[in-house]
Amino acid sequence: MISFFDIIKRALTGPYYTEEEFDLQVLVPKMREVVKKYDIRYDPQTPLPSDDKLADDVFQAALEFYTEVGTYCTDTGRVIRFTRDEILEGLKDAPAAPVLGEGRDAKAMVGRRPESAIPPWCFVGSGGGIVSSEEIYVRLVEGYGRNPLVNAITAPTLTTINGMRIQAGTPLEVLACIRSVVLAREALRRAQRPGLPIMNSIATAVTDTAKIAGSQFGLRPSDGWLIGSMAEMKIAFQRMNEIAYVLSLGGHVVAETSPILGGYCGGPPGVAVANAAYHLQCILVMRGSCQLTFPIHFNYSCNTGRDMLWSISASSQAISRNSHLPLLDLSYVAAGPMTEMCLYETAAAVLNAVVSGGSIEFGGVTKATKIDHLTPMEPRFASEVACAAAGMSRRDGNDIIKRLLARYEDRLADPPVGKKFQECYDVDSIEPCQEYVELNGRIREELRGYGLRV
């Protein structure tokens, strides 16, 4: 694989475009061309398709698309491009089974394939959801660590430190990033899981300075640094600075991508192709130990709708059939804690990802936008569904997902907000209220009736 120094050089010397020229003259026309050429079509009756040819066509379309489009560096206006041979070499040399965590919690994250019986990697917690205080932060992370199925933690985002609201680019951001790492490590020790990897690095960070500074206070090379690109097919030097730091440390880059349905990618076929193309960017530009992706709906700001599930499934199958780099699908659900809709959405999204060949990140309930609207119950439920879905056929998975969609898809535009952590949990014991326990039990019983042994 070409070196990271070559990536930096191409970001400084590649073909120049204004951002508008790149979007409208390069990216959009090529996306339309490959979708048409490979005849990629969305079928709303199969939110989880079982067509191997479709999956492989999506991947070939992505390979052609990325060869000609590349990655746009927003700081220089230059495009980082690769030859087809360089991309194929990158696929061959990409990490296959990175080991994360320490001690008893050290484990290899392996790539999966559609319908694989291999247990998925469960990266669960908050999905970067926001919390009001350091106390809530610690209680949540300890609750996540108590989940026996968890392989890695996604920590919350602090909004205040010492009672002051955090502002990006100020010393408060640096101090908050340091504090978040210290608190997360302490919380995992309380849960008696000190070796669990924290794979979203420091969710509180906005700038590269704060993320790198905070890393020195408890993150380990066996953790993961979640580093994101920009929609569509763009990256900034701040993120490349973080990559340079993690590579020099010998750590793991969790390469994050998020194509937008309703944006420059167009509809579901374009989102599927873009997501597979991002996989190539994650290997070559971002040097990922894995890809973490969360395609998102422009209007609903979640990814549990029928069209989003199809896009995620088609691209996950394309990736998992043609690459060994591990893939994590992150689900953002519209509804909030202690609602039926939240659990229905969770089950559909997680089942879709696992049967399509991915593993999961889960935690973004209420679209990760409502303060304290997250609990340990949803990620525990997600990891149980994920493990139960391993080995299921795509046809069976599609049937279950259609039944689940019928329970919630007409409410995506106006979902219930649900309750805050402190309203449906005992904060001191980190135990759910009886009403939430009973709701969880009813939904699990319903899923068992659908054929999912959760």
In this predicted structure, what is the pLDDT of residue 278?
98
Q: How far apart, in whole angstroms, are the C-alpha atoms of residue 427 and residue 383?
A: 22
Tokens matching residue 222: 């066996």
Tokens matching residue 247: 């590579």
Spatial contact of 91 and 280, defined as CB atoms under 8 Å apart: yes
Angle between helices 394-408 and 306-322 in degrees, nearest 10: 160
Q: How far apart, in whole angstroms, are the C-alpha atoms of residue 161 and residue 245?
A: 26
Within 94-167, residue ranges assigned H as helices are 134-145
> What's the mean pLDDT in 285-309?
96
The CATH topology of domain 99-450 is TIM Barrel (3.20.20)
pLDDT per residue over 277-295, tens digit each? 999 999 999 999 999 999 9
Would the pLDDT of 201 be above 80?
no
pTM: 0.95
Strand-strand pairing, 327-332 and 290-293? parallel
pLDDT per residue over 385-419, tens digit each? 999 999 999 999 999 999 999 999 999 999 999 99
In this predicted structure, what is the pLDDT of residue 130?
94
> How many residues in total does the chain contain?
454
Spatial contact of 101 and 152, defined as CB atoms under 8 Å apart: yes
pLDDT per residue over 206-259, tens digit each? 999 999 999 999 999 999 999 999 999 999 999 999 999 999 999 999 999 999
In this predicted structure, what is the pLDDT of residue 70?
98
Within 38-83, residue ranges assigned H as helices are 52-69
In the three-class reduction of DSSP (H, G, I as helix; E, B as strand; rest coil), residue 243 is classed as helix
In this predicted structure, what is the pLDDT of residue 128?
86
Q: How far apart, in whole angstroms, are the C-alpha atoms of residue 42 and residue 57?
A: 13
Q: How far apart, in whole angstroms, are the C-alpha atoms of residue 27 and residue 25?
A: 6
Q: Nearest-CA neighbor of 430 among 190, 193, 201, 199?
A: 190
- pLDDT bracket for residue 296 (50, 70, 90): very high
Q: Work out whether the CA dihedral 355, 361, 367, 373 comes out positive or negative.
A: positive
Among 202-211, 255-264, 301-310, whose mean pLDDT is lowest?
202-211
Q: How far apart, in whole angstroms, are the C-alpha atoms of residue 281 and residue 149?
A: 30
- pLDDT bracket for residue 26 (50, 70, 90): very high
- pLDDT bracket for residue 368 (50, 70, 90): confident
Q: Which amino acid is at 292?
A: L
Spatial contact of 224 and 197, defined as CB atoms under 8 Å apart: yes
Q: Nearest-CA neighbor of 50 among 432, 357, 411, 431?
A: 357
Q: How far apart, in whole angstroms, are the C-alpha atoms of residue 70 and residue 82?
A: 7
Spatial contact of 333 and 353, defined as CB atoms under 8 Å apart: no
Strand ranges in 150-223 using DSSP code E only, listed in sequence order: 152-154, 157-158, 160-161, 164-165
> What's the mean pLDDT in 169-191?
96
Q: How far is CA 109 from CA 105, 222, 309, in A?
A: 12, 12, 23
pLDDT per residue over 99-121, tens digit each? 999 999 999 999 999 999 999 99
Q: How far is CA 252 from CA 99, 188, 266, 349, in A?
A: 9, 20, 32, 26
In this predicted structure, what is the pLDDT of residue 272?
98
In this predicted structure, what is the pLDDT of residue 364?
81
pLDDT per residue over 45-72, tens digit each? 999 999 999 999 999 999 999 999 999 9
pLDDT per residue over 318-367, tens digit each? 999 999 999 999 999 999 999 999 999 999 999 999 999 999 999 889 98
> What's the mean pLDDT in 427-443?
97
